[in-house]
Amino acid sequence: MECRVYYEDTDAGGVVYHARYLGFLERARTEFFRMRGVSVGELASRGFVFPVVRLEIDYRAPAVLDDLVWVNTEVLDAGKTSFTMGQQVVRSVDGKLLAAAKVTLVCVGPGMKPKRLPEELVSLLSE
């Protein structure tokens, strides 16, 4: 998924503020599922929510105002109630790796109790 860096994404030094990368990653995960026919909003309406429970991120190089960045997303591992995705933020113009992340999400239902992943997600994550 491609994202443009806007002024609101930058810090006082003119580079993308470290926490803004989390928004890029979140949107890319949502689009990853949408492009494969799974709506995160529809799953939520059925009681399946996926909070992040672990995040590892390495910042390699800065993105700056007006950069176009591409966020690559892949499934690394899937269990019965959780899954882990690998994500890389790359500057579109030169392919430079800006950040690499490993994100683990768990499926929860009402009361934030862990629950089994829905079948359509199990199928998608195992592809």
Among 35, 32, 18, which residue's Cα sits nearest to residue 76? Answer: 32
The length of the chain, given as a count of residues: 127
The tokens 């995040």 sit on which residue?
A: 55
What is the C-alpha to C-alpha distance for residues 111 and 15, in angstroms, rounded to an integer? 39
Token couple for 2: 């491609």
Known catalytic residue at 11? yes
Which residues, other chains included, contact 38 with Cβ-Cβ below 8 Å and sequence gap of 6+? 120, 121, 124
Greatest extent of the chain over all pairs of C-alpha atoms, in Å: 46
Q: 11, 58, 66, 77: which is the annotated catalytic residue? A: 11
Residues identified as active-site? 11
